[in-house]
Amino acid sequence: MATFKSYTLGKFTITRPWVMGILNVTPDSFWAGSRCDTQQAIEQRVATMIDEGADAIDIGAYSTRPGAAEVTVHDEMARLDRAMHIVRAMAPDLPTSVDTFRADVAQFAVEQLGVDIINDVSGGTLDNDMFATVARLRVPYVLMHMRGTPATMQQLTDYDNVVADVLADLRVKLDKLHDCGVRDVLIDPGFGFSKTLEQNYQLMARLADFHQLKAPLLVGISRKSMIYKALDCTADQALNGTTVLNTLALQAGTHILRVHDVLPAVEARTLVGKIMDY
């Protein structure tokens, strides 16, 4: 069991693991239960996450599942604009993150909508301006590991050693971010992105190794195929498996759990905290 280390990220200090609730303002995210594409659905989703104890909300307006439809920059911004106005009205002080790989969208989200964190599934590989943009915006940045694009990533799973190779890739990009002047970086190993089922579990087994990057760790495995394929069930039936893996992630010293189901993650944190004393 790894020791939990507190981190300061910009104006936030993480002294115990955060539970980051997912708000997908899309019609086609991989789990149908997470899709919120009307004002009423967004309001209900945000209210539930607040009631269940979310520490932050991560808003996604462009599904990155394989086969998802392309979304224009204009449409992504419009979706984010509507969602952020609702979130800010209901929870003005709750930290917010935007899940985007586009530098223009990141700039809009921070400067026009007041978003606190940029969560980039591509780790800067899909927009060459992302690192410089985040440096200029001076907000925390989630650096995730992925190869290729959402359409091609599952064809790019050839590693010599998945743990060592992912660590090496993230280390190079982390150095580039630091060279750009970005200091507040979170690390995400990218479960489900350019990884086979077996590789996902190799990463989970060695999750504590990622602390050698000396950055807070974000884990997003909620209802993903690594769970429902391993259990021969569906995403709808993958909550229990999600909670099991979230518990293991907490024991490995994870700082943020990105989840669809806030309350089970909050309860897992409470029980693991009885052992880890945070």
Query: DSSP assignment of the chain, as one string?
Result: -PPP--EEETTEEESS-EEEEEEE-SS--SSGGGB--SHHHHHHHHHHHHHHT-SEEEEESS--STTPPP--HHHHHHHHHHHHHHHHHH-TTS-EEEE---HHHHHHHHHHH---EEEETTTTSS-TTHHHHHHHHT--EEEE---S-TTTGGG----SSHHHHHHHHHHHHHHHHHHHT---EEEE--TTSS--HHHHHHHHHTGGGGGGG-S-BEE--TT-HHHHTTTT--GGG-HHHHHHHHHHHHHTT-SEEEES-HHHHHHHHHHHHHHHT-
Confidence bin at 263 (pLDDT 50/70/90): very high
Residue 88: active-site member: no
139 or 31, which is more confident: 139
Q: How many C-alpha atoms does 107 have within 13 Å on its Cβ side?
A: 12
Which pLDDT value is given to residue 137? 98
Which pLDDT value is given to residue 91? 96
| 83 closest CA partner among 69, 68, 98 | 98
**Residue 66 pLDDT > 70:** no
Confidence bin at 28 (pLDDT 50/70/90): low
Which pLDDT value is given to residue 32? 59
Mean of pLDDT over the chain: 94
Per residue in 115-134, is it b (16+ CB within 10 Å) or e — as a string?
bbbbbbbbbbbbbeebbebb
Rounded to 5°, angle at Cα 117 from 115 and 121? 120
Which pLDDT value is given to residue 151? 81
Q: How many C-alpha atoms does 183 have within 13 Å on its Cβ side?
A: 6
Confidence bin at 222 (pLDDT 50/70/90): very high
Q: What is the pTM of this model?
A: 0.95
Strands 18-24, 256-259: pairing is: parallel
- C-alpha span between 264 and 246 (Å, rounded): 9
Q: What domains are defined for the chain? A: 17-273 (3.20.20.20)
**Residue 122 pLDDT > 70:** yes
For range 260-270, the mean pLDDT: 98
**Residue 38 pLDDT > 90:** no
155 or 7, which is more confident: 7
Confidence bin at 179 (pLDDT 50/70/90): very high
Residue 258: active-site member: yes
Which percentage of the chain shows pLDDT scores above 70? 95
User: pLDDT tens for residues 239-260?
Assistant: 999 999 999 999 999 999 999 9
**Residue 27 pLDDT > 70:** yes
**Residue 34 pLDDT > 70:** no
Which pLDDT value is given to residue 26? 79
- Which two three-digit tokens encode residue 229? 């394929």
For range 188-213, the mean pLDDT: 97
- Cβ atoms of residues 99 and 119 within 8 Å: yes
- Which two three-digit tokens encode residue 191? 């479960």
For range 104-120, the mean pLDDT: 98
Q: Could you tell me which residues come within 8 angstroms of residue 254 by beta carbon, excluding any fewer than 6 positions away?
A: 17, 207, 217, 218, 219
- State the catalytic residue, choosing from 224, 229, 269, 274: 224
- State the catalytic residue, choosing from 45, 79, 223, 258: 258
**Residue 31 pLDDT > 60:** no
